[in-house]
Amino acid sequence: MLDGLLNIFFPDKCMFCHGPTGHGERGACDSCRTLYMDDLRPRMAGTKDIRALDSVMYALEYKDGVREAVRGYKFHYKPGYSVQFGRILADVLTKSGAEFDLITCAPVSLRRKMTRGFDHTGLLLDETAKAIGSKLHGSKQFDKNILARRHRPAQSGLKHEQRMSNLKGAIWLKNGKDVAQMSVLVIDDVVTTGSTLEECARVLKSAGAAYVMGLVLASTPE
């Protein structure tokens, strides 16, 4: 029982290459750590179809081991991967030097949470907060209960315009939340066309947010 739980939360195979992690280390093997985690820098994604969103920062390219890890996390129930993902996001955010009044995540519908077995963006936010907390002396306001999302058919395979119309009215600000004049960071796993983050930004800006940036683990190559 305990072993099973440990394997879910701290898988003993490398999340990127599925090889052994060695040294009793859980999460990622040494060579994948070097490849994907040791020398991170904030990178800016292209913003050609983006209007409400001020910018999108990402850590890694969505390919090879990164793609494996993100797919494992979302589609094969590996919530434990969030620990390393949180470290990656925290590292990039700290190096960027950007400061925000509020840090939240792209909302996931209840139905998606049920089928996936967990709230994959909420967990990213929690782990990012944990990884960053001590460095920033708790001055940042992390809150995953800002935006909500209604279930709509999967976005994959749709073009940006189709995604945007698919998302219309599907994301909203939760009751009693105030984002007026705030600079807001929205965390998500992957940015493809940017439509989810764009809709989040549109909702936040309509509610008076001054600045909205997206932060994602990985960006699909242009």
Which H or E element spans position 198? helix 195-206
Instruction: Identify the CA nearest to 52 among candidates 184, 218, 216.
Output: 184
For Zn ion, the closer of residues 19 and 169 by Cβ is 19
> From the CB of 38, what's the least distance to Zn ion, in Å?
13
Minimum CB distance to Zn ion smaller for 14 or for 93: 14
Task: Please identify, using beta-carbon distances, which residue of 14 and 88 lies nearer to Zn ion.
Answer: 14
- Contact residues for Zn ion (CB under 5 A)? 14, 16-17, 19, 29, 32
Tell me how far, at minimum, the Cβ of 191 lies from Zn ion, in Å. 24
Helices within 25-148 (DSSP H only) = 30-32, 64-75, 82-96, 110-116, 120-133
Q: Could you tell me the smallest distance in angstroms from the CB atom of residue 35 to Zn ion?
A: 8
**Alpha-carbon 87 to chain mean position:** 12
The CB-of-181 to Zn ion minimum distance in angstroms stands at 44
Residue closer to Zn ion by CB (options 82, 84) is: 84
